[in-house]
Amino acid sequence: MIVKKEIVSRADIARRVKELGQAITRDYSGRPLVMIGILNGAFIFLADLVREIELPIEIDFIRVASYGSGTCSSGIIQCTKDTELDLTGKDILLVEDIVDTGRTLVRLKELLAARKVASVKICTLIDKRERREVEVEVDYVGFVVAEGFLVGYGLDHAQQHRHYPAIYNIVSGG
């Protein structure tokens, strides 16, 4: 049985997503935007966020994996589902559920730069800055959270618990 402690409420998430949507609308005013959700974790956040943005938006998805032994990342990021839109010359906003080491986002920014996009910015629901291994600029942050294994609102543990409407720290179990 999982024992969890709520750290970000459903109401706080809704309020912050609205604020992020307003900031993105302001920052991209008059410019079309492509939002790329990083699967699987960001799909709920992205769905709520796009409804708070008052701009023409194209939406796409990408899935990446870091393969290694056990629970350790090899540091090699592989794309397992690529975008489908032509991104050349477009402003891109990567939407992530959680920024941890930063390695995935650095690799994705490199991949998108090679596709000759106009710009790449990052929006994340959760930023765990103390876990950063590489420098990555996060332009829009929902919440800064200290250590803990988080689930809910798209965040999972072994593909479970994404459906929780708030964000929880797993205290024990899993």
Q: Does 174 have pLDDT greater than 60?
A: no
pTM for this predicted structure: 0.89
Residue 156 to residue 134: CA distance in whole angstroms: 23
Reduced to 3 states, what is the DSSP secondary structure of residue 110? helix
Percent of the chain, pLDDT > 70? 93
Q: Does 67 have pLDDT greater than 90?
A: no
- Greatest CA separation found in the chain? 50
Which pLDDT does position 69 carry in this prediction?
42
Which pLDDT does position 43 carry in this prediction?
94
pLDDT category of residue 131 using cuts at 50, 70 and 90: confident
For range 17-44, the mean pLDDT: 96
Contact 88, 116 (CB under 8 A): yes
For range 2-21, the mean pLDDT: 94
Is 156 annotated in the active site?
A: no
Q: Could you tell me how far CA 141 lies from the centroid of its own chain?
A: 9
Domains of the chain: 17-67+75-147 (3.40.50.2020)
Q: Which of 12, 82, 91, 100 is catalytic?
A: 100
Q: Does 63 have pLDDT greater than 50?
A: yes
